[in-house]
């Protein structure tokens, strides 16, 4: 039984790490999208089609 509990503990730790990485990447992507959108809005008068 102890082996099962150690396996479950390892799985829980891995899930927490993966979740933290996903949150960090999501926040970074969101910030980059906001910055690039603000840059486009700032220079919209320079854009011609």
Which pLDDT belongs to residue 47?
Answer: 78
> Residue with structure tokens 């082996």?
3
Answer yes or no: is 28 within a domain.
Answer: yes
Answer yes or no: is 7 within a domain.
Answer: no
Which pLDDT belongs to residue 44?
Answer: 86
Answer yes or no: is 5 within a domain.
Answer: no
Which pLDDT belongs to residue 38?
Answer: 95
Which pLDDT belongs to residue 32?
Answer: 98
What tens digit of pLDDT does each residue of 1-49 get? 788 888 999 999 999 999 999 999 999 999 999 999 999 999 988 877 7
- Please tell me the distance from the alpha carbon of residue 42 to that of residue 18, in angstroms, as a whole number: 36
Answer yes or no: is 27 within a domain.
Answer: yes
- The full 3-state SS of 1-49, as one line of letters, equals CHHHHHHHHHHHHHHHHHHHHHHHHHHHHHHHHHHHHHHHHHCHHHCCC
Answer yes or no: is 11 within a domain.
Answer: no
Answer yes or no: is 1 within a domain.
Answer: no
Residues in CB range of 40: below 8 A, 6 or more apart: 47
Q: How many domains does the chain have?
A: 1
- Residue range of the domain that includes 29: 20-44
Answer yes or no: is 3 within a domain.
Answer: no
């Amino acid at each position: 039984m102890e082996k099962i509990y150690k396996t479950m503990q390892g799985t829980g730790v891995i899930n927490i790490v993966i979740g933290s990485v996903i949150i960090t990447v999501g926040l970074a992507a969101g910030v980059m999208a906001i910055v690039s959108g603000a840059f486009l809005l700032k220079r919209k008068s320079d854009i011609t089609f």
